[in-house]
Chains A and B, each alone.
Chain A
Amino acid sequence: MTDPLLAPPKKNPQRRSTSPTRPPEMRSRAALGLTAAAAEGRLALQCCAECATWQYPPRDACVACLSNDLPWVDFPPQGQLLAETTVQTSPRLYYRERVPWRIGTVKTDVGPIILVHIHPDVTPQSAIHLTAHLDRAGQGVLVAMPPQETSNAMDAPLMRELTADPKHRRVLLTDARAENAPAMAKALKDAGAAIIFIGESESWRPYTARAALQEIGVEFMPLDVTDTLSVQTLAGEIGGKTDILINNAQFVRPGGALARGDVGFAQNEMDVNYFGMMRLAQAFGPGMCKRTADEANSAVAWVNLLHIGALANTPEYGAFAASQSAAHSLSQSLRSEFRTAGLRVMNVFSGPTESDWFASLPPPKVLPQSLARDVIKGLQAGVEDVWSGDIAKDVRDRFRRDPKVLERELTFGGDGP
């Protein structure tokens, strides 16, 4: 059984911080299909559409019948651990710093032989359960887990490398005024976050949730994501202590271009939703990137809360949706810019939330507690893309099926299918 992870000791200020290193990043295009599924927490492999043979390693033609039709399908995770070794030395710095490292050969019940990482709770030559995760290079890897859940399993050093668990980590939640702030703060506290910094803008203007936040136990820090100096000042203060940054600052108003009549609110939307992310990234990003190998409370994740309009514009909130697309696109740039450091960018998409500015929309809407729970689960699983609530999943599925058809559905309105 895994020992529970202890709160890390205070960092020795005389010691040089461990430089970030990564496992190998290069993959063929076919192999990226595994990564794409793992990015959402799914274990998927190619299954030949013609003869139903499972393929591994990923490839371009069926190993049994040469068909090129190899869609990615959710994979039954059961298997048997046939052999294992513990790597004691490696020419790759990332592993050199982390040996001994346990790997093994699994024979899956449905066929393929898979080389895997092995969780410490797995007994040699036993039945196992496969899971897919993103490693520090942001690529999909497979892990052999014991078939039954074991206590503190996620505290194992292997799992801490593959996830962005908030336990014992220090989190910055950027907007105390957001309606989801108290639920977020509570969820983080319950998940074992060591410190919750919360950004509070315009202290000259009170807000009702402050007392509740105080009750939960957060550290209020002045922060206005529209004020460059404010962002830089806070980064100067706590940038070196920010392990997870959750940007919940959001400006939303209804209406598309014509309904608005001017660009005033759109400027606010861009200033908060897009430029806010950019300011935060410029101020906090470099410091977080330097600390991704900083022992147990390393900098590990950047979380954006995005509306599903990022994917396909929702015209009732057309201008706002455009700002979400801008933010989404920027988050993809951040993924690339943070890649070499191994800092994970996690986007949590949701449909309308149970909040003031979506009040005129019919249910289902995402409650703050649900959103918060999905953020925590996403961090604990180390995924990159989270779809919170039914609408988000629905739009995602329609978008993947055919983006143009979805565009018509969203912009046409009317009588439904």
Chain B
Amino acid sequence: MKALSTRMRVWWVVITIAVLVWSLLPVAAIFATSFKLPSQLDVGTFLPKTWSTTNYEQIFTGSAKDLFLPALRNSIGISLIATAVAVVLATFAAYAIARLDFPGKRLILTTALGVSIFPVISLVTPLFNLWRNIGLYDTWLGLIIPYLSLTLPISIWTLAAFFRQIPWELEQAAQVDGATPWQAFRKAVVPLAAPGVFTTALIAFFIAWNDFVYGISLTSTSRARPVPAALAFFTGASQFEEPTGAISAAAVVVTVPVVILVLLFQRQIVSGLTQGAVKG
């Protein structure tokens, strides 16, 4: 490993700083705004004049808690379930695509691509009518089902790519060594497939977590409204006051877990989204 010249080192420091500023400035900005007092919001500085946690109090214990806390619960629950269902379905599909030779392979992958390009707005009004008629409007299930159209395609692609890289002969080798098919599957395949499944779940969760249009169109109360939709409904002290502080605080609360997940699993995410081309 040749040592880096000072010029290269300086270059890399500059690049790193530039990348950090580009990526983190907006996050830092809303972080700072969330600590500003509502009456000092128009001062126009980056940092708060007085650091205050009043916005956080508002969304956790104050007037906005009935809007924020249920929304948080809805988002977490709906996103997790939609991710789980998508990953389960995609695992079976990807296994079939990677291991078996059947003529539907290309069709399914093309369908996945096709489904992912549908404009969501085109789907909401008919879905609204249907959900209203069968009682799924403003329910968790009423969001989980459309979310599958967001999470399934990318899950299928990513998992298919992962599974294609698994050496399936290991399963046969284990069986030759005397293991039952189930043991072979468990001991040889599962450890290799698990990271891929986990990464896919992570990526699918991000997509479900991010949804906005379904959230604002297919819900109307705190029973099922997810956080991005709820952010658009936040209120200030009166119906005319801009709830900048409360929105910023809520935004930070839903961003912190994301940043932590990215921090912990950046290697897996990169591997997953580059279809395994980049591993470590």
A, B: real partners = no
